[in-house]
C-alpha cells in the first residue's frame, strides 16, 4: 500500500488533490481511497487530506500516520504544523515553493532522506500562469507523478479532465504538465550533481 498525506490551507484544493490522486490510481486498476481531516473549515486554516492506494482492497479507514509521501501545498505550514510527523525514512517530500530545502530551514532535517525523493516545485506559479488562480493542487500532482513514479502522469491528467469542466481542466492539465517537466528537470540536475 502507498499512502500520501497532503498538507495545505483551506481554499487551496487540498481535498480535491487527494480525490484526483485516488481517481488517477483507480484509473490504473488499483484500489484507492481519499478523505480529508480538518477542524475549522474557514479559508486559510490548516487542512490535511489523505490518499492511499493498493493492488488489493483497502480495509483501513483511519488517518495516515506514517505516510510514504508528503505533498505540502503551503510552505508556511512547515514551522507551524508537524507536517513531517511519521514520514517513513525512504519517503517522498514535495513542497510547493521555488526555495530550496535549506532556504526553507529544513535542510538539516531532510539529510537522512533519499535526495532523489525530495523536491520543490513552484506549483502556485504554474497555476497562476495556466489557470489564472493560485490553486497549486493539480500542478503538485504533476510534480508528484515525476518525483515518486508511483502514479503515471497520464493518469493524473485523466483524473484532472474527469474532475473539472473543459476550460478549467485544460488550464490545470497545462499546470500539471509544466510541474511534471520541471520536477523531471530538477531530478536530472540533482543526479548529475551527485555524479560529479
What is the number of domains present in the chain?
Answer: 1
pTM: 0.94
Q: 146-155, pLDDT tens digit by residue?
A: 999 999 999 9
Rounded mean pLDDT, 149-168: 97
Query: Phi-psi category of 132—alpha, beta or left, where left has phi over 0 and alpha has psi -120 to 50?
Result: left
Q: 167-179, pLDDT tens digit by residue?
A: 999 999 999 999 9
CATH of the domain at 8: 3.40.920.10
In this structure, the dihedral spanned by the alpha carbons of residues 4, 160, 34 and 57, taken in order and rounded to 10 degrees, is: -90
Angle at 96 between CA 94 and CA 102, to 5 degrees: 75
Phi/psi of residue 96, each to 5°?
-80, 95
Q: 116-143, pLDDT tens digit by residue?
A: 999 999 999 999 999 999 999 999 999 9
Phi/psi of residue 93, each to 5°?
-130, 120
CA distance 5 to 63: 9
CA distance 3 to 99: 26
Structural domain boundaries, residue 148: 2-195
Q: Count of residues for the chain?
A: 196
Grid cell for residue 34: 481519499
Amino acid at each position: 500500500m502507498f499512502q500520501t498525506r497532503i498538507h495545505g490551507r483551506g481554499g487551496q484544493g487540498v481535498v480535491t488533490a487527494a480525490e484526483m490522486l485516488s481517481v488517477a490510481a483507480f484509473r490504473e486498476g488499483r484500489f484507492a481511497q481519499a478523505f480529508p481531516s480538518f477542524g475549522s473549515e474557514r479559508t486559510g486554516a490548516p487542512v490535511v487530506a489523505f490518499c492511499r492506494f493498493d493492488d488489493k482492497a483497502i480495509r483501513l479507514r483511519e488517518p495516515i500516520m506514517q505516510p510514504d509521501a508528503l505533498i505540502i501545498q503551503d510552505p508556511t505550514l512547515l514551522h507551524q504544523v508537524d507536517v513531517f510527523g511519521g514520514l517513513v525514512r525512504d519517503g517522498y517530500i514535495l513542497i510547493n515553493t521555488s526555495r530550496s530545502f535549506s532556504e526553507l530551514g529544513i535542510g538539516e532535517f531532510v539529510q537522512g532522506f533519499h535526495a532523489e525523493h525530495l523536491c520543490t516545485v513552484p506549483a502556485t506559479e504554474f497555476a497562476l500562469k495556466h489557470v489564472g488562480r493560485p490553486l497549486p493542487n493539480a500542478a503538485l500532482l504533476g510534480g508528484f507523478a515525476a518525483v515518486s513514479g508511483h502514479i503515471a502522469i497520464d493518469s493524473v491528467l485523466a483524473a484532472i479532465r474527469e474532475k473539472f469542466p473543459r476550460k478549467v481542466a485544460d488550464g490545470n492539465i497545462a499546470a500539471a504538465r509544466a510541474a511534471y517537466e520541471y520536477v523531471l528537470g530538477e531530478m536530472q540536475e540533482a543526479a548529475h550533481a551527485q555524479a560529479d
